[in-house]
Structure 1
């Protein structure tokens, strides 16, 4: 399709293969994020809610693994650990993950609402959550740490990649939302 106003191609990624789109996602191209968020994922689909839940569970599992990797050097790991110490470590990790992500999302949504000065009709928070979850794909690199041993600093480098990817995706999402829904 061509844009009615400027006569340019509306989405050039329609003709591209998946691998080119993935490479452009890694290169942080906003058009690639807009293509994935608005053209690949159908928001009216009956499976959209399931996709959102699966992405959320995967995000939380990878975040729990990240938390475990960060805490691993601090804790005493060995075969002589008791069940109560295992339970205490995992309970602390899960509370950190759920509470940390909950606080992040609440503060993010409040910041979006106040900075954009949106009214109550701005109900696109589900789309913003989807943009955060999709753009956090760099967390999958944590699974390489199961096979190879990397220094703990690699975790923070992956966090920087996730943060930069989130920034690009949210920028595209918010610009799209402001253009078409205000």
Structure 2
């Protein structure tokens, strides 16, 4: 695995040496002489540096394509279902309003980033999905002025289609 210093981005061979369980020594960067990644065991402030530089070797291109494809499927189904079940999407500003509402109301997904750093129960992604779904439905209701039941149905359709597409890509 390739690691990088969170201070200067220089490649380092390892982040720490483990002498025994719970007894480690953090490695210093050869370039800037700082501890390469002191955040592997502590603070949130630089957790993003740790996540971006040192949790993955490289982002697999296939994973990137899958994420983009799944989000295109989600947005397409959401817009199609919205135009069928809620309102007419004749104005481009209406599409922009709906997309903005969905992006802003998906803020709970930030908790999934924390799962890459710290361990959480396996039920947490399900809870986050339910929170995102309900928040998306409320935001869609605000933008479309439709009933909450219809908005939940539209959002559920888009989320379910994305989930099924994800399952198909995994197999």
| TM-score category of the 2 structures, normalised to the smaller one | 0.3 to 0.5
Greater share of residues in helix: 1
TM-score (norm 1): 0.44
**Normalising to structure 2: TM-score of the pair?**
0.46
Structure having the larger proportion of residues in strand? 2
Structure with higher RCO (Cα < 8 A, 6+ apart): 1
Q: Which one has the largest radius of gyration?
A: 2
